């Protein structure tokens, strides 16, 4: 059985950046892409905030370029899903991974970059208009709605932060919170209530997103009175949380209560030797392509140092 120096799981900015660094360090990485090659950025249109693209770049193009850059230095990219892992618990131990197709892979180090998946409401009209005005990332897409009226759903810290971010760009932000209170911290709630162009609606849910090709409006419903109201908007932001893709590591790696992998201090080390985590799978706070890429780089450097230590 072939024993890889480095197995990378996940193909977003974190995974590909880890691959670029690991390949250049001669670790001959093999990267498994998972079910959504390219990760969350492939669901975005224009990426305007990744340094080095003065004209912006569309998400899928950027991910193809990252893959090409990783392959240029010898990364082997396999379009398949890792379904199960058996992680070694001792230093120098061999980690095992199993693909959906039944292949068994052995590796001295594993870099986990499986990302997180934004939660959506699940309404048919919302799903149909994803990419046509429905977005799960205000920082990524808010700028496209400059000077326009938008809405945001959610009452947590993300929704509160994104609502105030959008309020600086857009003319009006209608914020829909399904309960009679917000879950966000008091400080974030104050920022929302002190922003004059945020129209905060409690006990309010989306009945339907209106529009054929692009978002044109919203029908919302007060869940106490059952009254409905239609408003005109061009952008709808869903901020009801993310789910880290960590199911296959449950019981083996330390996670927080929401399932995010826990890394040690400023490193990408997990609780197991030779297993590193980078990108959104270990970050519920920043969640940007550039921060994911940064931690991907760190994970490759941490893996390289670990291999040097066990081989010396
Ligand atoms: P949360 O899980 O904290 O909040 C999700 C929000 O979405 C809740 O208000 C919830 O409502 C609402 N919601 C969930 N499902 C639906 C639905 N189907 N329809 C309508 N509303 C729905 O997620 P966040 O992403 O906000 O935050 C995740 C974590 O990250 C938290 O621990 C947060 O504190 C942290 N964070 C910290 C930041 C910071 O410190 N700067 C910034 C961003 C996040 P309900 O309350 O009714 O369940």
Write the pLDDT tens digit of every residue in 243-258.
999 999 999 999 999 9
Q: Tell me whether residue 140 is one of the annotated catalytic residues.
A: yes
Domain that holds residue 209: 120-238
pLDDT of residue 306: 98
Looking at ligand 1, which residue's alpha carbon is closest to its atom 9?
155
Q: Do 32 and 96 share a domain, yes or no? A: yes
With a 6 A CB cut-off, is 221 part of the ligand 1 pocket?
no
pLDDT of residue 212: 95
Q: Do 103 and 155 share a domain, yes or no? A: no
Q: Do 113 and 139 share a domain, yes or no? A: no
Tokens of 170: 């857009």
pLDDT of residue 47: 82
Looking at ligand 1, which residue's alpha carbon is closest to its atom 5?
240
Looking at ligand 1, which residue's alpha carbon is closest to its atom 2?
241
Q: Do 113 and 202 share a domain, yes or no? A: no
Q: Tell me whether residue 137 is one of the annotated catalytic residues.
A: yes
Average pLDDT, the chain: 95
In angstroms, what is the span from residue 156 Cα to ligand 1's centroid?
Answer: 3
With a 6 A CB cut-off, is 178 part of the ligand 1 pocket?
yes
**Which residue among 138, 240, 257, 260 is best mutated to probe the pocket of ligand 1, counting the most ligand atoms within 8 A of its Cβ?**
240
pLDDT of residue 99: 96
> Mind listing the pLDDT tens digit for each residue in 62-119?
999 999 999 999 999 999 999 999 999 999 999 999 999 999 999 999 999 999 999 9
With a 6 A CB cut-off, is 179 part of the ligand 1 pocket?
yes
Q: Please identify, among 204, 238, 272, the residue that sits at the C-terminal boundary of a domain.
A: 238
User: Are the C-beta atoms of 192 and 278 separated by less than 8 Å?
Assistant: no
DSSP helix/strand/coil, 199: strand
Q: Do 109 and 255 share a domain, yes or no? A: yes
More confident residue, 86 or 2: 86
With a 6 A CB cut-off, is 13 part of the ligand 1 pocket?
no
Going by pLDDT thresholds of 50, 70 and 90, the confidence category of residue 173 is very high
Q: Do 233 and 272 share a domain, yes or no? A: no
- Determine how β-strand 95-99 pairs with β-strand 104-112: antiparallel
Q: Do 249 and 234 share a domain, yes or no? A: no
Q: Do 126 and 204 share a domain, yes or no? A: yes
Q: Given the CA of residue 119, which atom of ligand 1 is nearest to it? A: 15
> Mind listing the pLDDT tens digit for each residue in 37-59?
888 887 666 788 899 999 999 88
In angstroms, what is the span from residue 244 Cα to ligand 1's centroid?
Answer: 14
Task: Give the CATH number, domain containing residue 300.
Answer: 3.50.50.60
pLDDT of residue 44: 66
Question: pLDDT at residue 260 above 90?
Answer: yes
Q: Do 109 and 256 share a domain, yes or no? A: yes
Q: Given the CA of residue 161, which atom of ligand 1 is nearest to it? A: 42
How many domains would you assign to the chain?
2
Question: pLDDT at residue 129 above 90?
Answer: yes
- The upper half-sphere exposure of residue 42, i.e. CA atoms within 13 Å in the direction of its Cβ, equals 15
Q: Given the CA of residue 179, which atom of ligand 1 is nearest to it? A: 47
Q: Please identify, among 188, 217, 238, the residue that sits at the C-terminal boundary of a domain.
A: 238
Residue with tokens 């496209």: 144
Q: Do 135 and 108 share a domain, yes or no? A: no
Question: pLDDT at residue 188 above 80?
Answer: yes
**Angle at which helices 157-169 and 186-193 cross, to 10°:** 30
Q: Do 169 and 209 share a domain, yes or no? A: yes
Q: Do 8 and 107 share a domain, yes or no? A: yes
Tokens of 129: 């208009």
- The upper half-sphere exposure of residue 140, i.e. CA atoms within 13 Å in the direction of its Cβ, equals 26
Q: Please identify, among 213, 238, 263, the residue that sits at the C-terminal boundary of a domain.
A: 238
Task: Give the span between the Cα atoms of 223 and 226, in whole angstroms.
Answer: 5
With a 6 A CB cut-off, is 158 part of the ligand 1 pocket?
yes
Q: What are phi and psi of 35, to 5 degrees?
A: -80, -20
pLDDT of residue 45: 65
With a 6 A CB cut-off, is 284 part of the ligand 1 pocket?
yes
pTM, 2 dp: 0.79
With a 6 A CB cut-off, is 157 part of the ligand 1 pocket?
yes
């Amino acid at each position: 059985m072939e024993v890889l120096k480095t197995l990378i799981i996940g193909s977003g900015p974190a995974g590909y950046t880890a691959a670029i660094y690991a390949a250049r360090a001669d670790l001959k990485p093999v990267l498994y892409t998972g079910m959504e090659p390219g990760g969350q950025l492939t669901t975005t249109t224009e990426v305007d905030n990744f340094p080095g693209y003065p004209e912006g770049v569309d998400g899928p193009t950027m991910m193809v370029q990252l893959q090409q850059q990783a392959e240029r230095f010898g990364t082997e990219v396999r379009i398949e899903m890792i379904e199960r892992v058996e992680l070694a618990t001792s230093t120098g131990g061999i980690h095992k991974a199993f693909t959906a197709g039944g292949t068994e892979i052995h590796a001295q180090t594993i870099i986990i970059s499986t990302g997180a998946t934004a939660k959506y409401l699940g309404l048919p009209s919302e799903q149909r208009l994803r990419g046509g005005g429905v977005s799960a990332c205000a920082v990524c897409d808010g700028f496209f709605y400059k000077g326009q009226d938008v809405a945001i759903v959610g009452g947590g810290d993300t929704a509160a932060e994104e609502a105030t971010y959008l309020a600086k760009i857009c003319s009006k932000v209608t914020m829909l919170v399904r309960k009679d209170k917000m879950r966000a911290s008091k400080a974030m709630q104050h920022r929302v209530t002190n922003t004059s162009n945020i129209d905060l609606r409690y006990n309010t849910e989306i009945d339907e997103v209106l529009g054929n090709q692009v978002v044109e409006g919203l029908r919302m419903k007060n869940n106490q009175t059952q009254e409905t109201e239609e408003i005109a908007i061009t952008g709808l932001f869903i901020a009801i949380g993310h789910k880290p893709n960590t199911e296959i590591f449950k019981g083996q790696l330390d996670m927080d209560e929401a399932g995010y992998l826990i890394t040690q201090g400023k490193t990408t080390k997990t609780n197991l030797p030779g297993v590193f985590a980078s990108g959104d799978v270990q970050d519920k706070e920043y969640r940007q392509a550039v921060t994911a890429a940064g931690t991907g780089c760190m994970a490759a450097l941490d893996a390289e140092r670990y291999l040097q230590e066990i081989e010396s």
